């Protein structure tokens, strides 16, 4: 693997290798490239959380991180993404992490660069390092993926996480279900067949993977108030009590307290939400190490 654009780029063997490396970073292992290595994080769509996580990962690996202000870049003067990357490569940048609102923007880049590229999220498409940190969190908890029941709760159509995770979890032997307002699954026969009501899901799920309700992207509330949405589809304290004893709650953040999850549950016993953020750094370190060693 010389780039990471999509979870589809990874065989299950490679996923296991990356998770293994990430676990050793979580245990405190230190690895740095043999020579001074330069990274740039090109976030054409803002995401402080993901950008900070990549920056932490790069710094922990001893890399030099070159700031790049997408808001004032030559792209505004009509330069193509490819020419911007060629420029950075010419200057000596070894790794570019890119977030872009255009779906599959990376397809036009494949095979054109010596520089390594990691997709930090594209449109409503892939977000492979988020998937890997989610997988790492599950593996740390259960030691395996085979036979686990994972329910993703929220609007799949606007979630990069849901897409990447479903493919990877299925390949690794887990069973994936979906929950949320049934309207979101109409006209989506493939996912609709694994649709379950939230009250059913909490009874059998090993992992409850909540998605953020994306107020920013569209009106998803369907005439429900926030309170009504929470009561009907959210993880309330009452529902949490009915979850299986060894089950866990996940959420990619940032959390809407009192919408998809009750505020009191964010740091509860079953929650792995902040563990996921910690794991994000280890997963990204592992991806970068694998790519640089290639």
Minimum distance of a second copy from residue 277's CB (angstroms) = 4
CA atoms within 13 A on the CB side of 38: 12
Token code pair at residue 138: 């599950």
Question: Is residue 284 part of an annotated ligand binding site?
Answer: no
Residues 42-59 as b or e (16 or more Cβ within 10 Å = b): bbbeeeeebbebbbbbbe
242 is in an annotated binding site: no
Site for a second copy contains 67 (CB under 8 A): yes
Q: Shortest gap between Cβ of 165 and a second copy (angstroms)?
A: 20
Is position 228 an interface residue for a second copy (rule: CB under 8 A)? no
With CB under 8 A as the contact rule, the residue among 19, 176, 280, 287 that binds a second copy is 280
> Which of 159, 220, 256, 271 touches a second copy by CB under 8 A?
256
**Residue 86 binds to a second copy (criterion: CB under 8 A):** yes
Q: Measured in whole angstroms, how far is the alpha carbon of residue 193 from the centre of its chain?
A: 24
Distance CA 16, CA 13 (A): 5
288 scored as a contact of a second copy (CB under 8 A): no
253 part of the interface to a second copy, by CB under 8 A = yes
CA distance 93 to 134: 29
User: 81: helix, coil or strand?
Assistant: helix
x/- mask, a second copy, residues 19-38, rule CB under 8 A, reads -----------------x-x
Measured CA to CA, the distance from residue 4 to residue 106 in angstroms comes to 10
Q: Does 108 bind a second copy (CB under 8 A)?
A: no
**130 in a labelled binding site:** yes
């Amino acid at each position: 693997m010389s780039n990471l654009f999509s979870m589809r780029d990874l065989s299950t063997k490679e996923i296991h290798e990356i998770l293994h490396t990430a676990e050793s970073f979580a245990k405190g292992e230190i690895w740095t490239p043999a020579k001074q290595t330069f990274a740039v994080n090109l976030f054409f769509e803002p995401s402080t959380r993901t950008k900070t996580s990549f920056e932490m990962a790069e710094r922990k690996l001893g890399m030099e991180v070159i700031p790049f202000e997408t808001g004032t870049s030559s792209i505004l003067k009509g330069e193509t993404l490819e020419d911007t990357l060629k420029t950075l490569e010419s200057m000596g940048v070894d790794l570019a992490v890119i977030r872009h609102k255009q779906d599959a923007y990376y397809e036009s880049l494949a095979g054109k660069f010596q520089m390594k590229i990691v997709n930090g999220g594209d449109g409503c498409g892939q977000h492979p390092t988020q998937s890997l940190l989610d997988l790492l969190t599950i593996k740390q908890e259960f030691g395996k993926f085979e036979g686990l029941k994972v329910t993703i709760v929220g609007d799949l159509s606007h979630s990069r996480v849901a897409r990447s995770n479903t493919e990877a979890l299925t390949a690794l032997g887990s069973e994936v279900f979906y929950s949320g307002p049934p309207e979101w699954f109409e006209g989506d026969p493939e996912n609709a067949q694994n649709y379950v009501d939230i009250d059913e899901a909490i009874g059998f799920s090993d992992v409850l993977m909540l998605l953020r309700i994306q107020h920013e992207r569209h009106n998803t509330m369907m005439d429900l108030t926030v309170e009504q949405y929470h009561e009907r589809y959210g993880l309330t304290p009452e529902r949490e009590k009915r979850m299986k004893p060894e089950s866990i709650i996940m959420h990619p953040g940032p959390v809407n307290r009192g919408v998809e999850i009750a505020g009191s549950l964010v740091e509860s016993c079953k929650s792995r939400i902040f563990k996921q953020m910690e794991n994000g750094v280890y997963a990204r370190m592992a991806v970068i190490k694998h790519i640089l060693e290639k």
